[in-house]
Structure 1
């Protein structure tokens, strides 16, 4: 299913989940206001409300009357999928290998 196949509220839900998955949104981050999100996505405020209701139901966000909507601490677990976990493992391995390579190069420079 492509983004074009999704309803507008579903695109918002997917975008927020993607931002959490990528680490752009973290636990307790405040989301923009309904009006700001509506303007950003070019949709009606009711569409944003539907997306937020879906995100609440899935455990990605929580809302406080008068304060706004926030990303749950456990949101990463709620949006995590096998692909995301595999990418995270690969990123960790690349970081580890990079660190090892830098140490080896530093040791080689000391010997020269």
Structure 2
């Protein structure tokens, strides 16, 4: 029963985190994200490194400056591009400098 409660709490935390991340994306991008839902078959056919990245993103254990400071591996949590706090949400969707330079699109593909 305790394990089920902990799982439910973790699930609700992940849903809240995902919801807050989606709120930062424009309406057009929300529609794309909603239309593209992952199935078990999609996950099964993903490359192992992509699965590793997604898992580390969900659990907020990517080696970004904010986490490196938290883990006492670095002193400065700022983004090298805009001097904002470098978190996963910041890197993937809210760094204004990266957006203005076209470093990524709504689908996460780097522009060349």
Both proteins in one fold, TM over 0.5: no
Higher share of residues assigned helix: 1
Q: Structure 2 length as normaliser, TM-score?
A: 0.22
Higher share of residues assigned strand: 1
Query: Which one has a bigger Cα radius of gyration?
Result: 1
Q: Whose RCO is larger (CA < 8 A, sep 6+)?
A: 1
